[in-house]
Amino acid sequence: MTILITGAAGFLGHQLWKALENDKIQVVGIDNLSSKPVIKPHKRLIKKNVQSIDQKFLIKHKIKTIFHFAAKKNVKNSFYNLNESTENYDMTLKLLDACNGSSVKKIFIASTCEIFGYQNKKLNEKSKYNPFSPYAVSKVAIEYLIDVYSKLLTNIKITSLVFFNTYGPTEGTDAVIPNFISKAVKNQNIIIEGDGLQARDFTYISDTIDTLLKIHKRKKYFRKINIGSGKDVSIKFLSKFIKKKFPKAKIEYKKKRPNEIKTFIANNTLIKKKFNFKSSVKIEEGLNRIIKFYGRI
């Protein structure tokens, strides 16, 4: 068995690659390195655009499973650079097309809770789509694309992995937690866009990777799988916790982001029942681990 990971130099892709190798599974990782990796990529990384993957590439490398993590995922930037959102759709379309007639049997595509928007309740896999940003629209379009290709590629099982803010050391500083911490260690201002009462469902990277390994091994098919802790943490809580560690850093409030979502909380019943998910790393411990990481670099 060989597994292809796209976005393999990114936060999730790099960590999953390491975990699969520890399980003695052969991995082919690609990334176009358009975003600078936080840590040095794997020595066997292939620098390549997802759009250039074709049937021959998949057959040559005997790819049986794909984890498609490559994406332009900055929600705020998607309002000002629409090409990023269309690229998300285009690369996924071309990847699915390449799988037709290949050796691929399973595809796991990274989705996001952003597809659901704000619904004032815990979000389950069947929650309605309600995108609030161009990025979210691109991800909703991909959900419909999966439905179409699931009818066409009947011998391939395609699953959306709906992530609710996985965090941890080596995550890019475009994400809120490393952004706050990377600034605080330099005694720079922690900038909050809005009132800070907006909240997100955070899952530590080791818990997410453990769940992905279980999902990969399980034979039963699921169209969508939420990956989240089932608890929300406010941005104000994060900033205050970090400021206690770095008293010289100041908290600065700025204008809220366009269409800012109030809160996201995962209904994670599926991963609890079917994959024995446990949120083993509490938010305070996770934050302390990231602070230690930034203290070393």
- If you average pLDDT over residues 189-203, what whole number do you get? 97
Percent of the chain with pLDDT over 90: 95
**DSSP labels, the chain:** -EEEEESTTSHHHHHHHHHHHHTT-EEEEEE---S--SSPPPTT-EE--GGG--HHHHHHTTEEEEEE------TTGGGT-HHHHHHHHHHHHHHHHHHTTSS--EEEEEEEGGGT---SS-B-TTPPP---SHHHHHHHHHHHHHHHHHHH-TTSEEEEEEE--EE-TT--TTSHHHHHHHHHTTT--EEEESSS--EE--EEHHHHHHHHHHHHH--S--SEEEE--S--EEHHHHHHHHHHH-TT--EEEEPPPTT--SB--B--HHHHHHH-----S-HHHHHHHHHHHHHH-
Q: In the structure, what pLDDT confidence band is assigned to residue 158 with cuts at 50, 70 and 90?
A: very high
- Chain-wide mean pLDDT for the chain? 96
Asked if residue 185 has pLDDT above 80, the reply is yes
Ramachandran quadrant class, 117 (left: phi over 0; alpha: psi -120 to 50; beta: rest): left
pLDDT at residue 297, rounded to an integer:
56
72 has pLDDT over 80: yes
Q: What is the pLDDT of residue 222?
A: 98
Q: Read off the pLDDT of residues 43-69 as tens digits, 9 standing for 90 and up.
A: 999 999 999 999 999 999 999 999 999
- Specify the pLDDT at position 82: 85
Nearest to 166 by CA among 155, 174, 175: 175
- Would you state the pLDDT for residue 295? 83
Round to the nearest angstrom and report the end-to-end CA distance of the chain: 36
The structure tokens listed for 123 are: 């979000």
> Would the pLDDT of 73 be above 70?
yes
Can you list the domains of the chain with their CATH numbers? Answer: 2-166+203-227 (3.40.50.720), 168-200+230-264+281-296 (3.90.25.10)
